[in-house]
């Protein structure tokens, strides 16, 4: 089967609150902005995007499992699950798709408990601390990984 030209965009718990609170940490962009940035970056390179945000871990796992059937890679900001969830990591390794891990804030410069990531070592691409625009760069780098072509 040929590689599907579609990405799954996953935003984890609380990222629906983007743009409503804590602008000093996360900026003023909303979840809708994130989805638009990723869709735009992907479409410029010929890829479609299916986006999901959920505050429920099982819903995220089901969406990741479904990506096996029709996606070529996953752009994911797991939110706080980054630092806690072996279950999420197992789902990501289970589907064996290339992953771009995104964090809006610079987790390395925040509390110690945000320094560890269960996703880091299985991610092909990692973009941290570049704000909402970081999702766009992560998308381009992930597509470059998938297609083997350099970012334009
Ligand atoms: O910097 C990131 O993107 C994070 O993944 C965001 C998570 C946090 O737990 C990670 O350590 C780093 C939190 C997402 C919550 O987002 C909010 C946005 C606005 C207001 C409140 C929460």
At the topology level of CATH, where does 6-78+87-147 sit? Answer: Rossmann fold (3.40.50)
> 2 pLDDT band (50/70/90 cuts)?
confident
Which value, in Å, is the radius of gyration of the alpha carbons in the chain? 14
pTM over 0.75: yes
The residues, any chain, with a CB within 8 Å of residue 2's CB and separated by 6 or more, are none
Residue from 79, 102, 116 to probe ligand 1 pocket by mutation (most atoms less than 8 Å from CB) = 79
**End-to-end Cα, the chain, rounded Å:** 27
Distance 2 CA to ligand 1 centre (A): 35
Spell out the domain ranges in the chain.
Answer: 6-78+87-147
Distance 13 CA to ligand 1 centre (A): 8
Percent of the chain surpassing pLDDT 90: 95
Residue among 45, 91, 98 at smallest CA distance from 71: 98
Q: Residues 42-99: pLDDT tens digits?
A: 999 999 999 999 999 999 999 999 999 999 999 999 999 999 999 999 999 999 999 9
Q: What is the mean pLDDT of residues 111-123?
A: 98
Phi, psi of 52, deg, nearest 5: -140, 140
103 is catalytic: yes
């Amino acid at each position: 089967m040929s590689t599907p030209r579609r990405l799954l965009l996953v935003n984890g718990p609380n990222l629906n609150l983007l743009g409503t609170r804590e602008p000093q940490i996360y900026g003023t962009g909303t979840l809708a902005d994130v989805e638009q940035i990723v869709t735009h970056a992907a479409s410029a390179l010929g890829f479609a995007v299916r986006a999901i945000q959920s505050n429920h871990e099982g819903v995220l796992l089901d969406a990741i499992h479904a990506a096996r059937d029709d996606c070529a890679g996953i752009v994911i900001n797991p939110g706080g699950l980054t630092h806690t969830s072996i279950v999420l990591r197992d789902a990501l390794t289970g589907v064996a798709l290339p992953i771009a891990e995104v964090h809006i804030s610079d987790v390395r410069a925040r509390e110690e408990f945000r320094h560890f990531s269960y996703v880091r070592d299985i991610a092909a691409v990692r973009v941290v601390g570049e704000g909402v625009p970081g999702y766009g760069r992560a998308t381009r780098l992930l597509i470059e990984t998938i297609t083997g072509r350099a970012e334009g």
